[in-house]
Amino acid sequence: MNKLLNTLFVLAVASVTAHAQAPAAPAKPAVASIESRVAMCVGCHGIPGYQSSFPEVHRVPMISGQNAKYIAAALNAYKTGERKHPTMRGIAETLSEQDIADISAYYEKHAGTTGGAKTVREPSPQVAALLQKAACASCHGADYSKPIDPSYPKIAGQHSDYLFVALKAYKASNSANNVGRNNGVMGAIAKQFTNAELKALSGYIGSLEGDLRTRPDPKFR
């Protein structure tokens, strides 16, 4: 968070300075560069192994290589409060529609070449039965990396501790304590499983080969 606050402070100072030096403001405000708009994201999503402690310690999700339409849907869900995570809500509320479109397109391409065929490791019989029960592959794709709709997430290889937190958030849906995700589809699915089962699913899906990466922007390396 300190990094975020520092970034915001620097941006605020920079804009004050810019105004002082350029009293004849241009008629149309220029759109800030994509680098400056993702600068605050990099402080968490661009640091390999970076952990969040809310609502429990887990690695922040990998977003480089994720589907742009899903990233945009997720950011909008934080913005509207459908997803309650307080930090991401605060951040999404600062983003305009244009920012969300541009940032989502940026992150989809940010992992470089992805999307090749994946070898799917066989699940244990226990996990196979759980995957079967809710037909996870029917939406997220046979390799969990090619969902049937670009507004659905790639989940193969995502951090398993994050997948577990996300699945519990769907299960909590409208709970009052800032952890829920109110999503009709995944809510109904997550509620069919115990937390131990969600953990087993997360462990397996997180162990698969996927497209998702944590990539520090070259500028910030």
Shortest gap between Cβ of 19 and ligand HEC (angstroms)?
A: 24
Total number of residues binding ligand HEC (CB under 6 A)? 43
Count of other CB atoms within 10 angstroms of residue 33: 10
Q: Which of 36, 120, 136, 203 binds ligand HEC (CB under 6 A)?
A: 136
Q: Which of 34, 36, 87, 203 binds ligand HEC (CB under 6 A)?
A: 87
**Residue nearer to ligand HEC on the CB measure, 10 or 185:** 185
Q: Does 101 bind ligand HEC (CB under 6 A)?
A: no
Alpha carbons 108 and 146: distance in angstroms, whole number: 13
Tokens 């069919």 belong to which residue? 192
Q: Does 85 bind ligand HEC (CB under 6 A)?
A: yes
Alpha carbons 9 and 6: distance in angstroms, whole number: 5
Q: Does 120 bind ligand HEC (CB under 6 A)?
A: no
Q: Does 40 bind ligand HEC (CB under 6 A)?
A: yes
Report in angstroms the alpha-carbon separations of 42 from 22, 104, 129, 178, 216. 30, 14, 38, 24, 7
**Residue nearer to ligand HEC on the CB measure, 19 or 192:** 192
**Residue nearer to ligand HEC on the CB measure, 19 or 35:** 35
Q: Which of 46, 67, 73, 123 binds ligand HEC (CB under 6 A)?
A: 73
Residue 82: exposure state from Cβ atoms within 10 A (0-12, 13-18, ≥19)? middle
Biggest CA–CA distance in the chain, Å, is 69
Q: Does 168 bind ligand HEC (CB under 6 A)?
A: no
- Residue 215 CA from chain centroid, whole number: 13
Look at the alpha carbons of 129, 59, 174, 73 in this order and tell me if their dihedral is positive or negative: negative
Give me the residues that bind ligand HEC (CB under 6 A), please.
1, 4, 40-41, 43-45, 52, 60-61, 63, 71, 73-75, 77, 83, 85, 87-88, 91, 103, 134-136, 138-140, 152-153, 155, 158, 163, 165-167, 169, 181, 183, 185-186, 189, 201
